Amino acid sequence: MAEEIPELNPEAKLLQELFARLKLGLRRILPQIIAILIAFLVGAIVLLATGYSPLEAYSAMIMGAFGDVFGIGQTFTQATPIIFTALAFLFAFKCGLFNIGAEGQLLVGGFAAALVGISFHGLPTFLHVPMALLAGALAGGLWGFIPAMLKAKLGAHEVITTMMLSYVAFYVTGYMVNYPYKAPGWVAQTVPIAPSAELPRILQPTQLSASIFLAVILAGLTHYTLQKTTVGYEVRATGLNPTAAESGGISVKRGMIVALIISGAMAGLGGAGEVMGVHRRFIEGFSPGYGWDGLAVALVGGLHPVGVLLAAVLFGVLRSGGMVMTRATGVPLDIVFILQALVILFVAAPMLIRYLLKRGGFKW
Amino acid sequence: MSIAIEMSGITKTFPGVVANDKIDFSVEKAEIHGLLGENGAGKTVLMSILYGLYRPDGGQIFVNGKEVEMDSPSTAIKLGIGMVHQHFMLVPSLTVAENIILGKELTKNKVLLDMNRMLNDVKDFCERYKLEVDLKAPVYTLPVGVQQRVEILKALYRGADILILDEPTSVLTPQEVEELFKAIRALKEQGKTVIFISHKLREVLAICDRITVLRRGKAMGTVKANGTDQGELAKMMVGRKVVFTFEKERVRAREVVLNVEDLKAFSDRGLPALRGVTFEVCAFEVLGIAGVEGNGQTELVEVLTGLRKPTEGKILLDNTDITEMSPGERIRLGISHVPEDRHKRGLIPDFSVMENLILGSHNKPPFTKGRIRLNFEEASNHAERLVKDFSIKTPSVDTPARHLSGGTQQRVIVAREFSRKPKLIIASQPTRGLDVGATEYVRKKLVEMRDQGCAVLLISADLDEIWTLSDRIAVIYEGEIVAIKDPKKTSEQELGLLMAGGKRG
Amino acid sequence: MVELLDVINVGLFAAALRMATPIAFASLGGIFSERAGIINIGLEGMMLTSAFTGVTVSYFTLNPWLGVLAAVLVGGLLGLFHALLTVKFIGNQIVSGTGINIFAVGFTAYMSQILWGSRGASESVQGLKVVSVPLLKDIPIIGDIIGAHTPLVYLMLIVTVLSYIVLFRTPIGLRIRAVGEHPAAADTAGINVFKIKYLCLLVSGMLAGLGGAFLSLGHLNLFAWGMTGGRGFIAMAAMIFGKWMPFGAFGASVLFGFADALQMRLQALGLLPPQIILTIPYILTVAVLAGVVRKAIPPSNYKPYVKE
């Protein structure tokens, strides 16, 4: 005789649905998690081969990232600009474009914000801050506009042009901060920005600034735009099938230009956030490669704004924890780059993960 | 008579469909054997297995009496099997000679290509089989009928004794078909075996010795060509009586909807594709454009839909000059388009059915709330309505279009384009690759739209389709409209002649 | 007073040929890869890793030629890895290449730190010695430009010619071009499409390796962080400018090499701030790409080839 299955009360039903959704979500990010694990495994091998203890290194990293207020502050501070550059890469990618020049867009954005920050005095904060942010976005947008036009009008592959412009941005801002805008002293940096252009610190005594709120808001905006607006529909259609999109009346060229401008603006905003919230001036070399992190984070985040936020924290851990690890164990900081690259490579080939899983005996 | 090929119990499944279901198929030496069936019956799959492109899930293959494991085309080639595909396997920028010798290159002193020797060898082949080609021309410059000759030469050069021809006449004019048949008979005389894949009853009866019919992946039987007729074959192919004619209402009022004047345009390769096309299409009429593929039809459709800029000429829709307008504007003015390649142009495979159904109207109310936000409720309702009205077989409106069958995908496109109540429908090869049921459905819908007052421009390489559906037939040849005929006052013979560049009318 | 002749002289052209060498090698590597249907964005990373490997091996063996050999091997290995990811595992070609680039930067800096205690630059090593070609260097003017260089420069010239011959005059070259342009046609002609792609990427990596070896062993005799400076990307622009033809790519590489040499001269003379001068090669690349791309049709659509 069949057992009687009791009717679930509404609370249990909700919980069940929640679990089902969680399971689905986990299944979706499983390849990324495995990629991260494999990357750390290979990284461990590299460490061992060069005479370091992976256990020591990794635990120093985690302790450094979360062990105290400073660690936590650093982790999220480092994560913030990465969120911006990751969203930049993501947005362009959804339109079928590879913007690998986020680093340069971040730099020009930061410099433009610094310029606005140091050029005006006596402005009220509620005017100065938006102006500086806008300048950052515009500068980044310009740096995305150039490759966009080259691609739309002339078909120039944006991978090369954004990369080249990144170098140009590096040198141009380097020039600016070593010559015309150099503050007195040894360091290549500008004078501090006016206090009215500063973004407030939100976790004393760390450097964590309100820029992170901007980043999270931007992530939400990105998700909303892509999924719920006509612009987002057109961007996604263009990215998935430009010929069909064209037949459907979507202007593919205009879409590409808009996507790259927005992408650049996002990265520029990230640079502005750094200058206004963390350093309060433009310092040469303030970005240890946030643009590249952004690429990795976008991929690891499964090209989804929520994933981006999570992955950015992971990379924040790598960076801030990495700095502590280097001080504590002597492991060169570049292991972080290596881990990053490994994650990218393993995430890049979904079939690879499936293949490895099959070899390991799991069904996917 | 000895048996050249024997396929026994062949089974092959793809996700969701059994393409070949325990098929037995045997071909005798030096015979011309037809493999007949409608689109999707499994003919190409079966022959691809024979050629080593696919691995069967079950069954055996015997070549000249010996069992073989057909694991790749090079094995098939070594066994003397050659295949001429429906979609040519020629490298466009290489010359005819280079394409023919690809994979079997000769060298002088072991390293460098010996082009002279190879050219001479190929020239011999051409003479022996009476297939004339310009060996030094890059393939992309050649007309389709000549490219097919190159494909046949390629197979022969590799020592093929058994030739598989996959729908060889789909790209030929009636005259070119006759030439092909002559060549096939010459091959048989030389002792070659030919397997002729087709869905065209008349041709199969005309050229083949024996015919095997496939239906939905199963072999329905083998008959002698001179012991059967179209009716019996059709019954084997489809299992029911097939309608060869079509009921059409009489044509009514004749206001001109589309006016095309002296249109000129270039193809992607920079060659002139349209050399001055002029015609008009009226409301309540279907104008069929007949022509062998590659005579400018694709470019014509692109110019009319706004995807390609013409170099000269004008396009008027209801007396409005739309020549400079973007695709989006043309959609708004009432032009709908069923594209010839539904995967490339018609659908976004990763978008859901609902998202595909609003493509083209996605930036207008009622699908937008205030021009920026998408109105998902409206879109969803609209999609549900269309799914019902057009009988679209899908689990839900959120299913990605990728997961639907070809016929269902075409229904989605048709639903989207026709539900906009357009003034002009441009239908480009609308039934290509569809099974009989889907084909009937699309044609019925086209005629329905015409009866409701639409102007329909039908471009098709299927002469039967043009014949059954059109009120007037225009023939396009080398980028020009060479004639416009009333179907009741012309013959297939005359059309074929015009399609091949014969007398102008 | 700085005179024009201080900048524009025979030495500049000789330097142009020198600086063209790594770009030309990488560019030829790009051609082999793209002609077979795979975009190799990772040229930069392959060059960098090879540059590092060459210096390391030369450091330990005191033999620069062993260093060159090691550089070539490592480059080839990375090329095969890229092929594995993109062909067998159908990974996105641009992502894979970018991953290789990031890996190269991190890995070389990391190992540099381990071996020499500095992530900035290694110690000096034995580099390749300049050779004087006896008859060549006696020709007036031209002799000064091409008469005396490290052997890799001459190797580059030879490889350029060889690349043309292989691609357009041998069976394997014909097959490579077929595989890139129409893999299905090549497959049905009995050609192993995957083997050809792997082979071409191996060659691509090896050529990039030669380019990297030149930068470290044939030019500076040490390894410095990020010393490839975007040359892998510039090589891609040269490849496109040269319409995926070996001689065209060589010509374009010479143009970029000229810009590189000019930039170094101007810096040494202190006429303009270094940063501005340093932008010259990159702006030139963008300008070239902008002016040329319209008319350049790539040899492939780079879609991964999947068999049923």
Phi-psi region of A210 (alpha: psi -120 to 50; beta: other; left: phi over 0): alpha
- Residue ranges per domain, chain C? 4-129+136-295
Reference B203, options B36, B324, B89; nearest CA is: B36
Give just the sign of the alpha carbon dihedral B13, B18, B20, B23: positive
Q: In terms of DSSP H, where are the helices of B213-259?
A: 230-238
Test A248 with B327 for CB contact under 8 angstroms. yes
Architecture of the C4-129+136-295 domain: Orthogonal Bundle (1.10)
The whole-number pLDDT of residue A353 equals: 67
Q: What does the pLDDT read at residue A361?
A: 57
Q: Which helix (H) or strand (E) holds B33?
A: strand B32-36
Structure tokens belonging to residue B464:
């039967």
Please tell me the predicted confidence (pLDDT) of residue C307: 67
Is B435 strand, coil or helix?
coil
Give the count of beta carbons closer than 10 Å to the beta carbon of residue B194: 24
Task: Yes or no: say if A244 and B344 are a contact pair by the CB < 8 Å rule.
Answer: yes
Contact criterion met (CB < 8 Å) for B360 and A249: yes
B253 — pLDDT class (breaks 50, 70, 90): low
Helix-helix angle C10-35:C171-181, to 10 degrees: 70
Residue C197 is predicted with a pLDDT of 96
pLDDT of residue A276: 94
Q: Which residues of C touch B73 (CB under 8 A)?
A: 187-190
pLDDT tens track for C23-46: 999 999 999 999 999 999 999 999
pLDDT at A363: 45
Nearest CA of chain A to the CA of C91: how many Å?
4
Pinpoint the alpha helices (H) of C117-150: 142-146
**For all residues of chain B together, what is the average pLDDT?**
85
* C interface with B, Cβ–Cβ below 8 Å: 165, 169-171, 174-175, 177-178, 181-182, 184-191, 299, 307-308
Q: Which two tokens stand for residue A189?
A: 């940096």
Same fold for the pair B3-238 and B243-334+422-505: yes
Q: Does B326 touch chain A (CB under 8 A)?
A: yes
Chain C residue nearest residue A354, CA to CA? C89
User: Could you tell me if B483 and B505 are in contact, meaning their C-beta atoms sit under 8 angstroms apart?
Assistant: yes
pLDDT of res. B207: 92
CA atoms within 13 A on the CB side of B411: 22
Q: Which A residues 136-165 touch C at CB under 8 Å? A: 146, 150, 154-157, 159-161, 163-165
Instruction: Give the one of B337, B363, B376 whose C-beta lies nearest to A247's C-beta.
Output: B337
Q: Compute chain A's Rg from CA coordinates.
A: 22
Q: Identify the three-state secondary structure at position B291.
A: coil
- Which element (helix H / strand E) includes B211? strand B210-215
**Under a CB-based contact definition with an 8 Å cutoff, are residues B422 and B257 in contact?**
no
Backbone angles phi, psi at A109, to 5 degrees: -65, -45
Inter-chain CB proximity C170 and B72 less than 8 Å: no
3-state secondary structure B125-155: HHHHHCCCCCCCCEHHHCCHHHHHHHHHHHH
Judged by CB atoms closer than 8 Å, whether chains meet at A159 and C95 is answered as no
Closest CA to C212 of C48, C28, C20: C48
C-alpha–C-alpha distance, residues A90 and A100, integer Å: 11
Nearest-Cα distance to chain A for C185, in Å, is: 24
Tell me the one-letter amino acid at B342: R
Which residues in chain B are closer than 8 Å to C174, comparing Cβ atoms?
Answer: 94, 98, 102, 105, 113
Q: Do C110 and A334 touch (CB under 8 A)?
A: yes
CB within 8 Å: C98 and A344 = yes
Rounded Cα gap, residues C34 and C236, in angstroms: 10
* Cα dist from A139 to A101, A104, A177, A272, A294, whole Å: 13, 10, 16, 10, 18
pLDDT in the model for residue A268? 96
Verify whether the Cβ–Cβ distance C107 to A167 is below 8 Å. no
- Cβ B330 vs Cβ B301: under 8 Å: no
Kindly report the pTM of this predicted structure: 0.81
Which DSSP letter does residue A237 get? H
Question: Which residues are within 8 A (CB) of B384 and not within 5 positions of it... i.e. 6 or more apart?
Answer: B397
Verify whether the Cβ–Cβ distance B105 to C171 is below 8 Å. yes
Neighbors of chain B with 3 or more C-beta pairs under 8 Å: A, C
Residue C228 CB neighbours (<10 A): 30
Q: How would CATH label the architecture of A71-333? A: Orthogonal Bundle (1.10)
Which chains share 3+ C-beta pairs under 8 angstroms with C?
A, B
Q: What pLDDT digit, counting tens, does each position of B202-242 carry?
A: 788 899 999 999 888 889 889 998 888 777 777 777 665 44
Give the residue from A189, A36, A45, A44 showing the smallest Cα distance to A111: A189
Of the candidates B320, B350, B348, B357, the one whose C-alpha atom is nearest the C-alpha of residue B335 is: B320
Average pLDDT over residues B139-147: 83
Confidence of residue B243 (pLDDT cuts 50, 70, 90): very low
- With 90 as the cut, is the pLDDT of residue B91 above it? yes
Cα separation of A209 and A198, whole Å?
A: 9
Strands B335-338 and B424-428: parallel
B496 to chain A, minimum CA–CA distance in Å? Answer: 32
Please check whether the domain covering B3-238 is classified as CATH 3.40.309.10: no
HEC string of B459-473 equals EECCHHHHHHHCCEE
Q: Does A123 touch chain C (CB under 8 A)?
A: no
* Statement: residue B322 has pLDDT above 70: yes
> Which pLDDT does position C295 carry in this prediction?
64
User: In the block, which residue shows the tokens 């390796």?
Assistant: C209
Touching partners of A (3+ C-beta pairs < 8 Å):
B, C
- Smallest Cβ distance to B91: which of C170, C178, C307? C178
Residue B394 to chain C, least CA–CA distance (Å): 25
HEC letters along A241-303:
CHHHHHHCCCCHHHHHHHHHHHHHHHHHHHHHHHHHHHHCCCECCCCCCHHHHHHHHHHHCCC
Query: What confidence tier does B294 reach under pLDDT thresholds 50, 70, 90?
Result: confident
Asked if C182's CB is within 8 angstroms of B154's CB, the reply is: no
Alpha-carbon distance of A16 to A33, in angstroms, equals 24
For residue B248, what pLDDT band results from cuts at 50, 70 and 90?
low
- Residue ranges matching CATH 1.10.3470 in chain A: 71-333
- 8 Å CB contact of C187 and B102: no
Task: Give tens-digit pLDDT for C51-91.
Answer: 999 999 988 888 889 999 999 999 999 999 999 999 988 88
At the second CATH level, the architecture of B243-334+422-505 is 3-Layer(aba) Sandwich (3.40)
Q: Is B112 on the interface with A (CB under 8 A)?
A: no
> Pairing mode, if any, of strands B193-198 and B162-166?
parallel
Q: Greatest CA separation found in chain A?
A: 89
Phi, psi of A248 (to 5 degrees): -85, 10
Which of B104-113, B126-135, B408-417 is the most confident on average? B408-417
Question: pLDDT grade, residue C277 (50/70/90)?
Answer: confident
Mean pLDDT, 10 residues at a time, chain A of 364 residues: 59 81 74 85 90 89 87 92 96 92 96 93 89 95 95 86 92 91 88 90 88 95 92 92 90 92 96 94 90 87 89 90 88 87 82 66 48
Residue C22 and residue C215: Cα distance in Å, rounded? 7
Q: Domain extents for chain B?
A: 3-238, 243-334+422-505, 344-420
Cα dihedral sign, C31-C37-C41-C44: negative
Q: What is the pLDDT of residue A364?
A: 38
Q: What are phi and psi of B141, to 5 degrees?
A: -85, -10
**How far is CA B314 from its chain centroid?**
29
* Digit-coded pLDDT (tens) for B345-367: 889 988 999 999 999 888 887 88
> What digits encode the pLDDT tens for the residues C244-268?
999 999 999 999 999 888 888 888 8
CB neighbours of residue B166 within 10 Å: 21
Reported as a single tens digit per residue, the pLDDT across B406-433 is 788 888 999 999 988 899 999 998 987 7
Tell me which residue in A233, A244, A246 faces B347 most closely, judged by beta carbons.
Answer: A244
Closest-CA residue of C relative to A356 is C89
Percent of chain B with pLDDT over 90: 31
Residues in chain C: 308
Which of the four pLDDT bands, split at 50, 70 and 90, describes residue B183?
confident
Beta bridge partners of B373: A229, B369
User: Alpha carbon of A138 to those of A87, A90, A144, C234: distances in Å?
Assistant: 16, 19, 10, 27
What radius of gyration do chain C's Cα atoms show?
19
Cβ separation of B89 and C181 shorter than 8 Å? no
pLDDT at A85: 97
Q: Any idea which residue has 């924890």 for tokens?
A: A321
Interface contact A42, partner C, CB < 8 A = no
Rg (CA), chain B: 24
